Structure 1
Amino acid sequence: MRIIVTGDRNWYAPDLAEQVLNRLMVRYGPDLTIVHGGATGIDRSFAEACGEIGIEQEVHTTRWEELDHPEAVIRYDKRNRPYNANAGPIRNQAMVDAGAKMCLAFHRAISASKGTKDCSRRAIAAGIPTYLIASEAAEPKRLAAGDARLR
């Protein structure tokens, strides 16, 4: 079963990731693939927990340097080097396009998010059931198109 994990880059929670993975294995069995963006925070938490438990991962990194992508938006950093400012949304769409049975969004303030909110919207638009986990103690809450938190 393929599951997209998206979340806050500032929320490092390896214990939470391990708890979630254990619950998923009890419910769906050990044949899981966690799809994530390889970023800091939640992505790193799940990467580490998957490594410890032995769960397969599929990592879609953000390709800031991919300037020739048809959807690239070229901007320049402080050193006047070009980068693809649309790399995050392109990566999010690639994760969704690869297919998944579920998307888990980890963010304490998703309405203020850019990346987690974008990935969640894309998953919902693709018909992937998407759940928000807003704290270590929170139960997942299903997100839907039109949810005020995703505006």
Structure 2
Amino acid sequence: MRVLITGSRHWTDRATIRDAITAATRAVPASEVTIVHGDCPYGGADLIAADVATELGMRVEAHPADWKRLGKAAGPHRNQLMVDRGADVCLAFPEQGSRGTWDCVRRARTAGIPVTVN
């Protein structure tokens, strides 16, 4: 099972992320779950989800944006790459002004990936 995580770099609520991942993957052994995230270097939802996934024995697949090469297009490009790689569900953790998170949510929905906004 592939779980796409998108969220604010300012997100700090670890319990909500853990609960959402646990609920979404309840029927699947942890060893068969891959948490896919955008690897925001500033922390937030991406890194919390990666840490939770590791604690739960899940695989982690990080997709850092190439800001140096792509500039402002790096975030949307990375989001599309994650969506194109496929996911069974997208868990979103937005905060006020989370443009990148909402971009990823729109792309996931367009691709037919079920999205849960937390």
Residue segments in structure 2 that go unaligned for 5+ positions in a row: none
- 1:69-108, aligned counterparts within 5 Å? 72=70, 84-108=71-95
Whole-Å Cα distance in 2 between the matches of residues 130 and 19 of structure 1?
Answer: 15
In the alignment, does 2:23 pair up with 1:38?
no
Matched residue, 1:80: none
Give the corresponding residue for 1:131: 116
Gapped regions of structure 1 (runs ≥ 5): 67-71, 73-83, 134-151
Q: Distance in 2 between matches of 1:10 and 1:52?
A: 21
Q: What corresponds to 1:47 in structure 2?
A: 50
Identity of matched residues, %: 40
What is the TM-score with the length of structure 2 in the denominator?
Answer: 0.88
Question: Which deviates further from its counterpart, 122-131 or 21-30?
Answer: 21-30
Residue type at the aligned position of 2:104: C
**Structure 1 length-normalised TM:** 0.70
1:26 aligned partner: 26
Which residue of 44, 60, 64 corresponds with 1:61? Answer: 64
DSSP-derived class of the 2:101 partner: helix
Tell me, yes or no, if the aligned pair for 2:66 and 2:74 is still in contact at 8 Å: yes
Structure with higher Rg: it is 1
Task: Determine which structure has greater relative contact order: mean sequence separation of CA pairs < 8 Å that are 6+ residues apart, divided by chain length.
Answer: 2
Render the CA deviation track for 1:46-90: whole Å, top value 9, x for unaligned.
Answer: 011112121101100011112xxxxx4xxxxxxxxxxx1110000
Distance in 2 between residues matched to 1:99 and 1:47, nearest whole Å: 18
Contact 2:5/2:36 (<8 A) preserved: yes
Supply the distance in 2 between the matched residues of 1:11 and 1:113 (Cα, whole angstroms): 10
Given the superposition, is the C-alpha separation of residues 15 and 58 from structure 1 closer, same or farther in structure 2, using an over 3 Å criterion?
same
- Cα distance in structure 2, aligned partners of 1:119 and 1:25: 20
Give the deviation of 1:3 after TM superposition: 1.0
Instruction: Look up the equivalent residue of 2:20 and give its one-letter code.
Output: V
